[in-house]
Amino acid sequence: MKLHWIRSAWIGCITILALGCAAATNRPTVPPPSVVDESSVRPGVNALYFQPDALEKYTAVLEGEHREVVQHRDEIIDAIGLVEGMVVADIGAGTGLSTTEIASRVGGDGLVFGVDIVPAFLDRIRERAKAELLTNVTVVLGEERVTALEDASVDLAFMCDTYHHIEYPQTYMHSLFRTLRPGGTLVLIDFERIEGEASPAILSHVRAGKQTVIAEVSQAGFVLESETELLEHNYYLHFRRP
């Protein structure tokens, strides 16, 4: 009787251990929880966007033809890999340079979240969508550390000249990782920051160069898949959430 009890207990232990191992093996590779004590890597980088005259001023700046990403806007959108019906988050959408064009490409069965931390910019995106009769644009007031979107709610995240404005990149990219559904894509465009080549303005405004950005984004769990050679002063990267 005693022997039978010991044998059952032993089998029970083995089963629990085996189940524990299976659970550990099957668990998706979710990155560690947000780094709550991360300090701002670029304090005040977004402060000017909150000035009273910011909407007028930055509509002209962000939509101006002097920007390489404005000059190549259509090719940039073509290279994203959009498919009708996709759910896309335009992260740091600004005044909506790309938001409405992405919305028209994903069609009525698709959806675009225009995410930004500046309420006045979101108003402009809302107006642009209305003027273009687009019903598939939702503006979202994001936060400095998190996307404010639901987990696994997005097929593709698009970040155009936004990464260098993210003050808490480790925490934010972990949040963005969770926002994407497994297998989802992150398209990241940002300024080339090469000493001796980039302008003094870029060298002082943009915190990190491409290799540092790739390392930081990979640290959050993303895998670099490819690079689109399209722009001279910006790089264009495609990452995947495994």
Residues that bind ligand SAM (CB under 6 A): 46, 49, 62, 69, 91-94, 97, 115-118, 121, 142, 144, 160-162, 165-166, 172
Nearer Cβ to ligand SAM (128/165): 165
Positive or negative: CA dihedral 40, 35, 174, 211: positive
Nearer Cβ to ligand SAM (106/158): 158
Residue 58 CB, shortest distance to ligand SAM, in Å, is 7
- Residue 194 C-alpha from the chain's centroid: 23
Residue 36 CB, shortest distance to ligand SAM, in Å, is 16
100 φ/ψ angles, rounded to the nearest 5 degrees: -75, -35
Q: Which residue, judged by CB position, is nearest to ligand SAM in the bound state? A: 94
- Mark residue 35 as left, alpha or beta (left: phi above 0; alpha: psi -120 to 50; beta: remaining): beta
- Residue 125 C-alpha from the chain's centroid: 18
Residue 214 CB, shortest distance to ligand SAM, in Å, is 19
Nearer Cβ to ligand SAM (117/214): 117
Select from 67, 112, 91 the least CA-distant residue to 186.
91
Q: Do residues 110 and 103 touch, judged by C-beta distance below 8 A?
A: yes
Nearer Cβ to ligand SAM (94/110): 94
Nearer Cβ to ligand SAM (94/221): 94
Q: Do residues 122 and 95 touch, judged by C-beta distance below 8 A?
A: no
Residue 225 CB, shortest distance to ligand SAM, in Å, is 21
* Helix (H) or strand (E) segment spanning residue 226: strand 223-227
Q: Do residues 172 and 146 touch, judged by C-beta distance below 8 A?
A: yes
Residue 89 CB, shortest distance to ligand SAM, in Å, is 10
Q: Do residues 76 and 69 touch, judged by C-beta distance below 8 A?
A: yes
Residue 10 CB, shortest distance to ligand SAM, in Å, is 53
Nearer Cβ to ligand SAM (109/132): 132
Report the C-alpha gap between 191 and 162 in whole angstroms: 10
Q: Are strands 234-240 and 180-191 parallel, antiparallel or unpaired?
A: antiparallel
